[in-house]
Each structure stands twice: as C-alpha cells, then as structure tokens.
Structure 1
C-alpha cells in the first residue's frame, strides 16, 4: 500500500498535547507515515522526562533555548542547531534549560511515541502526577523509566 503525501500547514495542526508540562505537537505520527514520526516539543525551564528507555530510535534537533540531555549517564548541554541521536534501548532523558526550550523529535519505525504522548495527555491530569498511574501508561506504551 502506498502512503499518499501530505502537507501540514500551521493552521491545520492539532492542538499541543500536555505531557507533564511539555507541550507536544504531533506533526507526523509513525502511523501516518508508515515509517518515522515527528513532534514539535516546547517546555519550560526545568521540565522534561526522567531517564527512560524504549525499543525505538529517536533523534532530537534543538530549535531554541537550551536542553540538557542525559544519555547513558553523560550530560550534554545542547543549544540551537544541535542534533542528539538516541538508539533504541539507550537510557536517556532531558530537561529544558534557562528560559525553556524547543526542539523537534524524530522517531524511528514502529515507535509508540505519538500514542504514548496522547495517552499521557488524556489520562494524567495537570498538576502533580499520580506516579503509579503514569508508570502504567508509560509501560503500556513501551517506555521503561530508569530506577
């Protein structure tokens, strides 16, 4: 089956999902492309996911601000124009630096990122998260939070 091309203009984007304080706009899901996924992510200073791993590759391209990535225990302060590639199974996390940040996330084939972001937005209300419920949503979507 051939997947048709599509053009997504800013006025046709879905509203951003609230994923524990990070605003995530799904630009192209793996399901839509039958290959890769792309999200636009924006977060306030200090927000971001804890160290975790999953069974898909992903890359991040920093568009604005600063983002500190932790990959296999090594910290990297990344400014606009920086690309971070994270192979499947790598323990990684990040948090947005001073003034917040913005980046593109590109996920590899068979990634569950877009559906995981939607599940967190739908099932975890704003405010301090219910940690056991959050961990269950993440696990159901192929994400393991590092201890």
Structure 2
C-alpha cells in the first residue's frame, strides 16, 4: 500500500505540453491508482479532441476554460468541476489571460504520457504525428473515434 504523498511548492518541475505547463502532483505509481495534476495554460492552448480509457476530472481555480465533450461545449469559470467519463471524446481551450486548474484521472496512464510528450515534442513546433504516436502508446487516441 502506498504511503502519504506531500508535494512542496516548487519541488516538482512543470512539464511543457504544447504550450501548457503541467505538474504531476501524484502519479499512479505513487498512489497505486489515480493521478493528480496542476495545469497552467496560456490563452488558446489546450489539447486537440482526444479520448482515453481513464475518467478525467477538472477543477478550475483561476481564469476560464472552454470544454468540449462529445456534442456539448461549456465555459468553466473558477469553482467549476467537470467530470469526463473514460472513452468520451473531449478537448479544452484555456481562456483569456490563461487558466489554472487541478485535474485527476481515475487510474494511471496520463502521467507517463505527459512526461513523454515533454521529452519528445518541441513546445513551440508540435509534431502532430509524434503526438498521435505517443498518445497511442499510452492508450489515448487523438481525434474522435472512427465509426
């Protein structure tokens, strides 16, 4: 059974994921199941439509972020909680003056994928083919399901 996890401010390096700064607060390896992230994004940044097997939840701390989930779209302001079930195609865009939020996944997978994005994809010139390839290795798919 995993022990307590304490992350001091500044103790972790933020990963650069195509214009978004993402800090892994707790990985699946540390918790034995779920993962927790702190996300900061400049206006207009955010992932393309994608889906993955894990549930994902977001809590907006500062700014506004537009979420797309299937056919639904909404603007989430500070204090808004958004839960996206695994397998749901979704995306988000950080709003004016940037956004800060905390996110959680229902099981491991995202932290390793984000670390690989940070290592292999230049933040200023994203290689979409490489993004798709890395996501696929971690059980995620960029784009809507075929069918």
User: Which residue number in structure 2 is paired with residue 61 of structure 1?
Assistant: 59
- Counterpart Cα distance in 2 of 1:60 and 1:11: 21
- Counterpart Cα distance in 2 of 1:38 and 1:104: 7
Which structure's residues are more often strand, by fraction? Answer: 1
User: Which residue number in structure 1 is paired with residue 38 of structure 2?
Assistant: 40
Superposed CA deviations along residues 63-86 of structure 1, whole A, max 9, x for unmatched, are 000000001121100000000000
- Counterpart Cα distance in 2 of 1:78 and 1:131: 27
Q: Normalising by structure 1, what TM-score?
A: 0.94
Q: Does 1:114 align with 2:111?
A: yes
Q: Which consecutive unaligned segments of at least 5 residues does structure 1 have?
A: none
Runs in 1 of length 4+ with deviation above 4 angstroms? Answer: none
- Counterpart Cα distance in 1 of 2:41 and 2:135: 19
Give yes or no for contact 2:5–2:26 (8 Å, CA) kept in 1. no
Give yes or no for contact 2:20–2:40 (8 Å, CA) kept in 1. yes
Superposed CA deviations along residues 74-112 of structure 1, whole A, max 9, x for unmatched, are 110000000000000001000001111010010102x31
Superposed CA deviations along residues 40-81 of structure 1, whole A, max 9, x for unmatched, are 000000000011100001100000000000011211000000
User: Which residue number in structure 1 is paired with residue 6 of structure 2?
Assistant: 7
Q: Which consecutive unaligned segments of at least 5 residues does structure 2 have?
A: none
User: Which residue number in structure 2 is paired with residue 123 of structure 1?
Assistant: 120
SS in 2 for 1:128: coil
Give yes or no for contact 2:20–2:45 (8 Å, CA) kept in 1. yes
Given candidates 125, 136, 145, the residue that maps to 2:142 is 145
